Structure 1
Amino acid sequence: MENKNKAYIDKVKSHILLHLKEYQHSETIYEASKYSVEAGGKGLRPLLLFTALEALNTDVSKGVSTASAIEMIHTYSLIHDDLPAMDNDELRRGKPTNHVVFGEAAAILAGDNLLNESFNVLAKDKALSAEVRIKLVEIISSASGQSGMISGQMLDIEAEKRKTSLDELEKIHAYKTGALIKAPVTAACIIAGAEPQVNSRLEKFSEVIGVLFQIKDDILDLEGNPEITGKNTGSDAKKGKVTYVSELGLKGAKAALNDKEEEAYGILDSLDGLIATAGLRKIVQMFAERDQ
C-alpha cells in the first residue's frame, strides 16, 4: 500500500504544480506557493479521498482535481497558521516556514493564492459534471470557511491561556481539523454517487477519524521525535494551547485515541458487504500509529 499511496500523493502534487506554473504571473508568488506544496506533506487528505473512492468502486482518477484542491487549501492553512500573528512557528515539515524564507507579505499572498486557485482547479475538472463540481465547491468551501476550519482556527486562538472544557475542545477541533478531514470522504461520496445509508455512515466515520487524528497530533506534540515530525515538540504547551493531553493527561489522551480507533472500526464493520472497507481500515491504523 505504501508505494500506491506515494503514487497517489505524487499525482496530486504534480497536478497542483502544473496548474500553478500554467497560470504563473508573479515569480515570487509562484515560488512561495511551490515551496510549501513541495515541502513533503503527508498527503493524508488526498489519500483519504482516493481510498474512499476505491471503497466505493469508483475510478480514483476522477478524484485527482478534487484531492488537489483540498491539499491546496490544507497547505494554505499551514502557511497562515505558521505566521507570527498566528502560531509564530519557524519550522514546518522539517524546513523553515514559508514566511521565514519569503517574508510575511509573500507568505500571506502565497496562502491566498493556493486557496483561490484550489477552486480554479475544481472548476476546470472536465472529468466531472458541472452539477457534481458545484456540489464539491459547496462542501469544500464550507469545510474550509467559517462553517469549518476558519471558525476552528479563531476558536483555538480565543481558547489560549484560559480554562477550556473538553466539550469546547472537541468543538474547536471538529471545525479546525475535522472539517477538512471529513471533506475528502464527503467528496468521494459525491463523485461516486454513494447510496444515502453508505454516505451517512462514511461521514460519521470521517468525523471519528478527524478526532482521532487530532488526539494523535496532540500526543505527538508532547512525545514525538522532531526529526520525524518536522516540528518542535512542546510548542502547544508553550503557547498555552488547550489540547487533549492538557485536558486528559497523556494516559487519558491515549485511552481516548484507542476509543476513537475502535469506534472507527465499528462503523466500518457496519459497512462490510456494502463497500470494500479494507483500505479504510488501513487508514484508521495509519492515523492511529503515525509518527509524524
Structure 2
Amino acid sequence: MSETEFTTRLESARKDVEACLDRLLGPEPLEGETARPETLMAAIRHGVLNGGKRFRPFLVIETTRLLGGPADAALRVAAALECIHCYSLIHDDLPAMDDDDLRRGRPTVHTAFDEAAAILAGDSLLTLAFDIIADDATGLDPVARLALVSALSRAAGIGGMAGGQALDLAAEKTPPDEAGIVTLQAMKTGALIRFGAEAGAIIAGAGADARARLARFGAVIGLAFQLADDLLDLRADAETMGKATGKDAGRGKGTLVSLHGPAWAERRLTELVAEAEALLSPFGARAATLIAAARFVASREN
C-alpha cells in the first residue's frame, strides 16, 4: 500500500470517528440521564473534538475490517477508545500531572476552562466509553461487549494506562532503569494501542490465535509509537508537535532514546516494524493497511 493510499484510509477513518463522537457528545440527555450540563459538555467537546489523527480508533476499525467484523460496531468501539484516550490527555495535562498549557495546538481543557471542569470532563469521558460499548446500539452480542469492557478496563486502569501514568510521575523523583522504562511505556502508551489492535478480533468473534497475534502486533507498534515520540520530543519543536517538547528531559525522566541514543532508536524502530510485519504475515495481502500503519508509526513527524 502506498503512503498516499494509507493517508487516505487514515483520514477517512478520522472523519468517521469524529462524526460519531460529535453525535455521542450531543446536548440531549440519553435515557437514564437527567441533563447534560452546558459548561461540562463544552469542556468535553473542547478536549475531544480538537483534531488529532485518531490512530487508536483507526486500529479498531482496520483490525475489524481485516477479520470481516461488523463496521458499525467497530466505529462505536473506536469512539469509546478515543473517549478513554482523550480523558487521559485531559487529566495528563493538569497541573498535578504534567502541567501543560497546549494540546494539539490549542489550550488544554484546564487552561480554556478550569481545573474542576477538566477533572469532570475526564471523569465523564471515562464512564461514557463503557456506556458506549455496553449499549445495545453497539450491535454486538452481550458476550462480545463484556469481553470488550473487560479488555478496555484492564488496558486503561491500574495495570495499564492509569498505572503507567503513576509510574511516569514517580519517574520524576526516581528515574527507572531500562526495564522500568519499558514497563512504564508499555502501560502508559502501549496499553491503549494494544487494545485498539486486539479489539477487532473481539468484535469479529475471531479465535484465540488471531486475538493473541493482533494483541502482540498492537504491543509492538505501541513500543514503536513511544520510541518515535521520544525521538520527536528530542528533535521537533512545539509548533510541529502541537504541545510542549523536551519536558521529559527537563524533568530528568529517562527514555530509551536518552539511554541508547537516536541512532539506536532508529535501528530499533526498523526491527519493530519488521516484527509487526511478521506477525501479520498469516493474513496475507489483507493486512496491507496495518503494515502501512506500522511503518507510519515509526516514521511519523508529529
User: TM-score normalised to the size of structure 2?
Assistant: 0.91
Structure 1 residue 161: Cα displacement: 4.2
- Alignment match, 1:83: 94
d(CA) in 2 for partners of 1:224, 1:51: 29
d(CA) in 1 for partners of 2:276, 2:261: 22
Structure 1 residue 186: Cα displacement: 1.5
Asked if 1:266 is matched to 2:271, the reply is: no
Contact 2:69–2:205 at 8 Å: present in 1 too? Answer: no
Asked if 1:113 is matched to 2:113, the reply is: no
After superposition, where does 1:40-189 map in structure 2 within 5 Å?
40-124=51-135, 125-189=137-201
Please list every run of 5 or more consecutive structure 2 residues that lacks an aligned counterpart in the other structure: 30-34
Structure 1 residue 152: Cα displacement: 0.7
d(CA) in 2 for partners of 1:127, 1:197: 24
Q: Secondary structure at the match of 1:146?
A: coil
- Alignment match, 2:296: 286
- Alignment match, 1:239: 251
Asked if 1:16 is matched to 2:28, the reply is: no
d(CA) in 2 for partners of 1:183, 1:272: 19
Contact 2:70–2:203 at 8 Å: present in 1 too? Answer: no
d(CA) in 2 for partners of 1:138, 1:109: 23
Structure 1 residue 228: Cα displacement: 2.4
Asked if 1:277 is matched to 2:282, the reply is: no
Deviations 1:34-82 (A, max 9, x none): 0011110110001011111121123322201110110000000000000
Q: Secondary structure at the match of 1:277?
A: helix
d(CA) in 1 for partners of 2:237, 2:71: 33
Counterpart residue identity of residue 141, structure 1 = S
187, 191, 211: which is aligned to 2:203? 191
d(CA) in 2 for partners of 1:185, 1:40: 21
Counterpart residue identity of residue 10, structure 1 = K
Deviations 1:157-212 (A, max 9, x none): 11124342111100111111111001112211011111222222111111111101
Q: Secondary structure at the match of 1:89?
A: coil
d(CA) in 2 for partners of 1:162, 1:256: 25
Aligned length: 290
d(CA) in 2 for partners of 1:283, 1:224: 21
Deviations 1:62-105 (A, max 9, x none): 20111011000000000000000000011110111111110111
- Alignment match, 1:39: 50
Deviations 1:84-129 (A, max 9, x none): 0000011110111111110111011111111111111112234111
d(CA) in 1 for partners of 2:151, 2:11: 26
Consecutive aligned runs of 4 or more in structure 1 exceeding 4 Å deviation:
none
Contact 2:76–2:138 at 8 Å: present in 1 too? Answer: no
Contact 2:77–2:138 at 8 Å: present in 1 too? Answer: no
Asked if 1:3 is matched to 2:15, the reply is: no
d(CA) in 2 for partners of 1:110, 1:261: 36
- Alignment match, 2:32: none
User: TM-score normalised to the size of structure 1?
Assistant: 0.94
d(CA) in 2 for partners of 1:193, 1:77: 28
Please list every run of 5 or more consecutive structure 1 residues that lacks an aligned counterpart in the other structure: none
Contact 2:17–2:57 at 8 Å: present in 1 too? Answer: yes
Identity %: 41
